[in-house]
Amino acid sequence: MENTQRRVGVIGGTRIPFCRNNTAYADVGNFGMSVKVLGALVERFGLHGVELGEVAMGAVIKHSSDWNLAREALLSSGLAPTTPGITTARACGTSLDNAIIIANKIAAGQIEAGIAGGSDTTSDVPIVYGTRLRKRLLAMNRAKTPLDKLKAALRGFSFSELKPSFPGVAEPRTGKSMGDHCEQMAKEWKIGREAQDRLALDSHHKLAAAYDAGFFEDLLVPFRGLRRDGFLRPDTTLEKLAALKPAFDRSSGHGTLTAGNSTGLSDGAAAVLLASEDWAARRGLKVQAYLRDAEVAAVDFVHGEGLLMAPTIAVPRMLARQGLTLQDFDYYEIHEAFAAQVLCTLRAWESVDYCKQRLGLDAAFGSIDPAKLNVHGSSLAVGHPFAATGARIIATLAKMLEQKGSGRGLISICTAGGMGVTAILERP
């Protein structure tokens, strides 16, 4: 196979407003939301009947019937039915991962264009039953005669088997939720409550200002009566945020994570179109920015590392490969899973000890200009449907770089399972 490396352009993206679970999208599900954003992307860029090289979509919480989510959604999107689809999941990094998948295929010359995205719902969740009932139903299915089926159904039956099980957000290896783990990180890095609340407040104010300025007019398609994100609270204050009780560490008296400085359970979807320069030029489409590089890392959170600290490792690796420093960026998009996670990441990069001992650097990685961080708000104000966040960030950052005319942006996303997905967008 010919070894080629082509520049990968971000043409643009779209999303539906993100909203709280059990509200506007409660009965839509991942398939419906995925169809909506893919269809909107097809409309925006005139892709009706067009065969793309790949559509990579994902969802973290999904029904077993959605195993083929990307393919089924694209078949209802207006794209040519000869377009392949792949369904993926890497928790909160899913759609950024999908962009990496598509970009790598374009860079290698395997495809010319593709779509990356994701959706998630915590409203329409899969409800399952315990092992005993599952084995009982399988035994009934294997039984040959009605009498044998009846025996399999009744033998040793207990009504407790009918108790359903809902999907949890706890880490299987530790039994602790992501919020519990982040509380530990906040204590380790001495991140106080006021700093977390202030970052959350800034996120809401920045997002509100972006809406007022019309920034999202071409990025967001109204859906189910929503035209703005359901989490946005432009009138919130530090006093209101300070009045909220701890959401995870409720008993020690030292909990700092609250519903105000943590992302809430969300429903939503987003997608972005990536392409080679030649393909975009042939269709008369402009490239907003280029996906220059990406990196994924993981930490040993089971044995003491912070669950959400993997981006602190991935970013230095990626920048070293590109000959860049942390200060060589015009914008920083650090996913606000929790305000504490963002602040822990920044503090770690400023720590000489951490950077020398854990990252193998000669000095601290350094600080960033707060004015360049999450300029139009991020997940605390927007919401965080797990698999949709990466595509939302790519589309937002690519537009920012296009508006600026040139520059470079850093994307950093922490994920469940102790992983981090990072990328660089640039516009020469």
Active-site positions read 92, 384, 414
Q: Which of 305, 280, 266, 328 is nearest to 33 (CA)?
A: 266
Q: Which residues contact 144 (CB under 8 A, 6 or more apart)?
A: none
- 112/242 Cα distance (integer angstroms): 50
The label of the residue with tokens 């999303």 reads 15
Nearest to 359 by CA among 407, 297, 412, 408: 297
The DSSP-derived string for 88-141 is E-BTBTHHHHHHHHHHHHHHTTS-SEEEEEEEE-SSS---EE-HHHHHHHHHHH
Q: Where does residue 228 fall: left (phi above 0), alpha (psi -120 to 50 degrees), or beta otherwise? A: beta
Structure tokens at 234: 């432009």
Tokens representing 386 are: 């797990």
Task: Give CA–CA dist 262/259, Å, rounded.
Answer: 5
> Which residues face 276 on adjacent strands?
8
Take residue 158 and report the two structure tokens written for it.
């207990």
Q: Is 293 helix (H, G, I), strand (E, B) or coil?
A: strand
φ, ψ of residue 8 to 5 degrees: the values are -110, 115
- Let me know if 322 is exposed, middle or buried by CB neighbors in 10 A (0-12, 13-18, 19+): middle
Count the alpha carbons within 13 Å of 423 in the hemisphere toward its beta carbon: 29
